[in-house]
Amino acid sequence: MSDVVFKPKILVFSTDKISDPGIDQAGLRKIHYSPAVYVISLPCSSGIKPKWILHAFEKGFDGVFIAADGHECSYSPKCPEHTNRIIEESQILMKANNINPKRIRMAAICSVCAEPFSSHMENFSKILIGLEDMKVETGKVL
């Protein structure tokens, strides 16, 4: 048996005015989260395209996390509804491509959410590790 420990590679879509400051605070305050977390910043979470999410999986990411604006979005009062629809569309595409829809998550992350962000990354990593373990045990793509 291999001694290699699986560390899920997670792509985070973050927003420059709302969630980026919270994620930055996690780093500044040395609140640990996996170094296998990569962040892409954009103006609004409702601008994410489902094909970007699929592309992340094609490029080897184990999970995608949307650090959503929530109701604080300055671009659209319907941002949470739009972002939720993007997640739903992405999950449909993921199923069609034999990608487990549990490999995508979303939560509102605000500018002071350093600890919650770290907690989300830890919990999501545990979910992804569980999916990987199931994949190894069953031999099925999850």
Neighbours of 21 (CB within 10 A): 18
CA distance 43 to 116: 21
Q: Is residue 92 part of a domain?
A: yes
113 part of a folded domain = yes
Residue 113, CA distances (Å) to 20, 26, 49, 129 in order: 10, 8, 25, 24
In a domain? residue 2: no
**Alpha-carbon span 41 to 11, nearest angstrom:** 11
User: What CA–CA distance (Å, rounded) separates 56 from 46?
Assistant: 17
Does pLDDT of 138 surpass 60? no
Q: Please check whether residue 56 lies inside any domain of the structure.
A: yes
Q: What is the extent of the structural domain holding 15?
A: 10-138
Distance CA 61, CA 9 (A): 5
**29-86 pLDDT per residue, tens:** 888 888 899 999 998 888 899 999 999 999 999 999 999 876 665 666 676 788 889 9
- Model's pTM, two decimal places? 0.88
